[in-house]
Structure 1
Amino acid sequence: MRLLISGILLLSSQGVNAATRCDISAIVQHVWPDAKPVAEGTMITPANQVIDITGNSPQSAICRVWPAQPELTLAAVPLMSQEKIDYGHNGDLELLVLNSVTLEVKQRLLLPERMSDDAIRITGIALDTARWKVAPNQTAFGLHITRSGSSRVNPIGEDALSLYVIENNQLRLVLAGIALTANSGEWDGNCAGEFNDIKRTLAIGSSSHKGYADIRVSEKSVASTAFIDAKGECTAKDTLGKATWTLHYDGKQYTVPQTLAPLE
């Protein structure tokens, strides 16, 4: 009896640990058992794509236990080409939903070219496990992709969010992308120039279309003009703005106005 209780407590402890943390190295090894190490923290798949598990680059694989369903773990695994290009990277991104204890793959979705970039580089990816309750029996999770330009006189950057659900035992995109933050500018490298900074927040609405809740988008923006004033000092004039939108589900995805769409 004592051994039985000890065994139950051990399994319970393992379940709690699995429900609070994830091991991206174990996930990658489980999902890609034929991948071979090529350097510390990197592996190459039979399809000649590189998987980075170091956590030291924007192309590193990530994982996160899903608080809404802790028995499930989410992972986003960049599958990068070995080909070197001058101004960026070529690569796909695979999203995985796994059993938190056994690492059995429940659902997976390949996003071709999602990790490809050029002069406007991908600077990070992150899983968003806020409670996106898009339908009475449906909670979505999100994927953030941040990008940044390298030009000093034409700065540009954004944080784009997309949302996914599990439906009919398949992983499906429901919000193709919305820029939550966006900044851009053009200046002379000294003072004179114009800059725009936008921040948006999303909230699940009380109304719905086609069975999915509407999503309210609230925007705050600052448009700045910098110039040399009469005293010869660099100064700026800010213009504040606000705007709101409501995103409706059309039966397949949420319709996103072009003005809210990300750079990709």
Structure 2
Amino acid sequence: MKRPLFCLAIALTPLLAHADCETNFQKWMQQLHPGQKLDTVHAGCKAWPANPTRTIAVLPMPHADANDKAGALDLEVLVADTKSGAVIAHTFEPSAIRYDAVRFGALDIDTTPWPLAPGNPAFGVGVEHEYPPMAAPKAEVSMSLYVVDSQRLRKVLDRLQLDYAHGRYDAMGMGFYVDTQRTIEFGPTGEGGYAALKIKEKSVRTEHKDLSDHADEQTTYRNYTIDYRDGAYRVPKNLASLY
């Protein structure tokens, strides 16, 4: 039988730092975290189309005891002046990214317009984790949303699981995998002028019960609403990142 290719539908593209980013990395680190080591593989920045005078950057910093098998990284998320590189707003998140056998795969800055509230667009930061062994593969993409609030950068959505896939196979290739994908739409305006988040979920479970190429497939759909309350969107446990 043919074992299906296992991958995330929303796999993140690793950030590629342009020259201005690389020039500012050292300045930002010296200003905000002097002496800390920067994970230059996953660090990056993007111009913000919603406000071209601003640039968004993510600066992951591995803990001193982190290694290839397990560890954690602190994360600095900042918005800077595009021309000068001066920091306009930022937030520091200790141990924001953790990994073990399920590896930290990629970071991404999502500059898609997120009109959560009038006149104050949000941007996203995505994190990808993966566990590649085909006997029991796992992969996840989670998304957090941020808004600039005066000179503060405020996280309003914390690690919503956008895509989660997992499976289990025996040596003969029989087994199952489940791929759950979620999309975000905007609902009625609520507290503080922030729109409710409408989460649409599609989950496909595929089972291979014998050595033929036949697979049983079952698709389920669910809808959720997350309201903005007390300064944030509270992610239900069943929609939250596992990592």
Give yes or no for the alignment of 1:129 onto 2:111. Answer: yes
Structure 2 CA distance for aligned equivalents of residues 34 and 73 of structure 1 = 17
The gaps in structure 2 that reach 5 residues or longer are: 1-17
Q: CA deviation at 1:22?
A: 6.4
Structure 2 CA distance for aligned equivalents of residues 243 and 84 of structure 1 = 38
Q: CA deviation at 1:132?
A: 0.5
Q: 1:218 aligns with which of 191, 200, 208?
A: 200
Q: CA deviation at 1:84?
A: 4.5
Deviation per CA, 1:208-258, whole angstroms, max 9, x where unpaired?
Answer: 234210111111110111111xxx524310001111111100122112222
Structure 1 CA distance for aligned equivalents of residues 199 and 127 of structure 2 = 18
Give yes or no for the alignment of 1:27 onto 2:14. Answer: no
1:179/1:262 contact within 8 Å kept? yes
Structure 2 CA distance for aligned equivalents of residues 89 and 258 of structure 1 = 23
- Listed as ranges, the matches of 1:1-264 within 5 Å are 23-33=20-30, 46-47=34-35, 49-53=36-40, 57=41, 60-85=42-67, 87-228=69-210, 232-264=211-243
| Amino acid in structure 1 at the alignment position of 2:127 | I
Judge which range, 129-138 or 149-158, deviates more.
Answer: 149-158
Structure 2 CA distance for aligned equivalents of residues 124 and 107 of structure 1 = 23
| Amino acid in structure 1 at the alignment position of 2:46 | R
Structure 2 CA distance for aligned equivalents of residues 200 and 261 of structure 1 = 12
> How many residue pairs get matched?
226
Structure 1 CA distance for aligned equivalents of residues 68 and 112 of structure 2 = 37
Instruction: Name which structure has the greater RCO, CA cutoff 8 Å, separation 6+.
Output: 2
Q: CA deviation at 1:86?
A: 5.7
Name the SS of the counterpart of 1:112 in structure 2: strand
Deviation per CA, 1:43-78, whole angstroms, max 9, x where unpaired?
Answer: xx743x32143xxx4xx2110011001111000011
Deviation per CA, 1:155-213, whole angstroms, max 9, x where unpaired?
Answer: 11111000011113211110012111110112213222121101111112234234210
Q: Kindly name which structure, 1 or 2, has the bigger radius of gyration based on alpha carbons.
A: 1
Q: Call closer, same or farther: CA 1:86–1:65 in 2, change over 3 Å.
A: closer
- TM score, norm. by length of structure 1: 0.79
Name the SS of the counterpart of 2:98 in structure 1: coil
RMSD: 2.0
Structure 2 CA distance for aligned equivalents of residues 157 and 245 of structure 1 = 22
The gaps in structure 1 that reach 5 residues or longer are: 1-20, 36-44
Q: Call closer, same or farther: CA 1:262–1:33 in 2, change over 3 Å.
A: closer
Name the SS of the counterpart of 2:96 in structure 1: coil
Structure 2 CA distance for aligned equivalents of residues 152 and 263 of structure 1 = 20
1:175/1:254 contact within 8 Å kept? yes
Structure 2 CA distance for aligned equivalents of residues 222 and 181 of structure 1 = 12
Q: Call closer, same or farther: CA 1:234–1:205 in 2, change over 3 Å.
A: same
Name the SS of the counterpart of 1:87 in structure 2: coil
Structure 2 CA distance for aligned equivalents of residues 22 and 103 of structure 1 = 12
Q: Call closer, same or farther: CA 1:131–1:168 in 2, change over 3 Å.
A: same
Name the SS of the counterpart of 1:130 in structure 2: strand
1:227/1:234 contact within 8 Å kept? no
